[in-house]
Amino acid sequence: MRLQLFLISLLTGNLFEQVTKAEEAIKFAINVKYSITGKTSERQEFWDYPLSAIRETLLNSIVHRDYFDKTSPIQIKVFKDWLWFYNPGELIEDLIIESLKTFHPSKTRNPLIASIFYRAGLIEKFGSGIDRIINTCRNNIIPEHEFIEECGGFSVKFKKEFEKLNERQNKALQSIKEMETITNSEYQIITGATRETSKRDLALMLKLGILHKVGEGKTTKYSIKNLNKKILMTHNAP
């Protein structure tokens, strides 16, 4: 079995080695920011995509791929604004895309590989991988990823930015992850927007449920709120 990472290399080795090599290759290809907050002296890392979601997607690809399909390896492509995983082999039997985001029975095409990964501590329990990917993306404030059946296989697409937010809002959102809160004045400094524009931008993020408001008047601050399903990637903000 081989893993193919677009623009980097063809990865070989046993399954455990390929997971490690793929993780390192992806980390080399995406961006990371470092921050040390006043609350702790430890350095925090902020990656374009949560590493735990990347690892879980890699593990799912290996466990669920169709090894009888010799036409293509597992593929990973890193683009400027999105990350794409392709796995040979469509969903098993009666599973459909919509059912993946709700309660569904655990099924695997390769139970022996799944058992080995479970015994090695790489997967926690059968059938929980998709849930962990979804929850990790929500907790790390990145757009909900897409599951797609295409070209006889199954792919997962991660995006860095919310399509309903404009460039200023996405930029500020990255800063809020590091700073934990933001004021209108800080938003203006980070984005170069006027006070009124900042006010409109923050109001939209409140409406979408991305931020919540703390305090009133000059003491008002905005912090990240848990994402909910109503944040849909359908169009760009003006």
pLDDT in tens, 112-127: 999 999 899 888 765 5
Between 187 and 11, the more confident residue is: 187
Q: Give the three-state DSSP class for 7.
A: coil
Q: Is a pLDDT exceeding 50 seen at residue 233? A: no
Q: What is the pLDDT of residue 190?
A: 94
Start and end residues for every CATH 3.30.565.60 domain found in the chain? 3-159
Write the pLDDT tens digit of every residue in 148-183.
999 889 999 998 877 778 989 988 988 887 788 899
Question: Looking at the domain covering 167-224, what would its CATH class be?
Answer: mainly alpha
Write the pLDDT tens digit of every residue in 69-97.
888 889 999 888 889 999 998 888 777 78
Tokens of 214: 């703390």
Start and end residues for every CATH 1.10.10.10 domain found in the chain? 167-224
Q: What is the pLDDT of residue 189?
A: 95
Q: What percent of the chain has pLDDT over 70?
A: 84
Q: What is the pLDDT of residue 40?
A: 58
Nearest to 85 by CA among 46, 56, 126, 105: 56
Q: What is the pLDDT of residue 237?
A: 35
Tokens of 238: 């003006």
Burial 113-150 (b: 16+ CB within 10 A, else e): bbeebeeeebbeebeebbebbbebbbebbbbbbebeee
Q: What percent of the chain has pLDDT over 90?
A: 29
Q: Is a pLDDT exceeding 70 seen at residue 5? A: no
Q: Where residue 9 falls among pLDDT bands split at 50, 70, 90? A: low
**CATH number of the domain at 3-159, please?**
3.30.565.60
Degrees to nearest 5, angle at CA 146 with 161 and 22: 85
> DSSP E strands: which ranges in the chain?
3-5, 9-11, 32-35, 44-47, 74-78, 82-88, 146-150, 153-159, 181-182, 211-214, 221-224
Average pLDDT of the chain, as a whole number:
81
Pairing of strands 74-78, 44-47: unpaired
Pairing of strands 3-5, 74-78: parallel
